[in-house]
């Protein structure tokens, strides 16, 4: 079993819909949670960063963390075709020397 599980998709939604992404994890030592967006053949871009359980909002993006369930989510409101990309969740374990553990990524396609 992988430490971080993420549905690979593809997840196809119509423009304007809410995109819902999630990751589950098994390591209770993970403390910091991040979401990255990666366009094809480009480096990942940091979208959201959260530490504690709860919600964090930034523009059209909302990140949720539920440490008790070991479950994190990313919501994208009013999705645009430009949101079409692969979204990677990542988690940090201080005990592991601050290395990030990545999910496999979910490919999202927003259709105009």
Partner 1 sequence: GAVVSQHPSRVICKSGTSVKIECRSLDFQATTMFWYRQFPKQSLMLMATSNEGSKATYEQGVEKDKFLINHASLTLSTLTVTSAHPEDSSFYICSAKPGGVKLFFGSGTQLSVL
> Among positive and negative, which fits the CA dihedral 65, 87, 17, 76?
positive
Rounded to the nearest whole angstrom, what is the least distance from the CB of residue 110 to partner 1 in the complex? 18
User: By CB under 8 A, which span of 18-26, 53-61, 71-79, 104-112 interacts with partner 1?
Assistant: 104-112
User: By CB under 8 A, which span of 17-25, 56-64, 76-84, 99-107 interacts with partner 1?
Assistant: 99-107
Rounded to the nearest whole angstrom, what is the least distance from the CB of residue 40 to partner 1 in the complex? 9
Candidates 15, 18, 42, 95; binder of partner 1 (CB under 8 A) is: 42
Report helix, strand or coil for 10: coil
CA distances from 98 to 48, 89, 91, 92, 112 (A): 17, 15, 9, 6, 40
């Amino acid at each position: 079993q992988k430490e971080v599980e993420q549905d690979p998709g593809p997840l196809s939604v119509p423009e304007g819909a809410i995109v819902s992404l999630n990751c589950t994890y098994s390591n209770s030592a993970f403390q910091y949670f991040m979401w990255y967006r990666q366009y094809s053949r480009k480096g990942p871009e940091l979208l959201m960063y959260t530490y504690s359980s709860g919600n964090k909002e930034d523009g059209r993006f909302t990140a949720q963390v539920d440490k008790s369930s070991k479950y994190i989510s990313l919501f994208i409101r009013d999705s645009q075709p430009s949101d079409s990309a692969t979204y990677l969740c990542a988690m940090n374990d201080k005990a592991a020397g601050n290395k990030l553990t990545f999910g496999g990524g979910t490919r999202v396609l927003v259709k105009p």
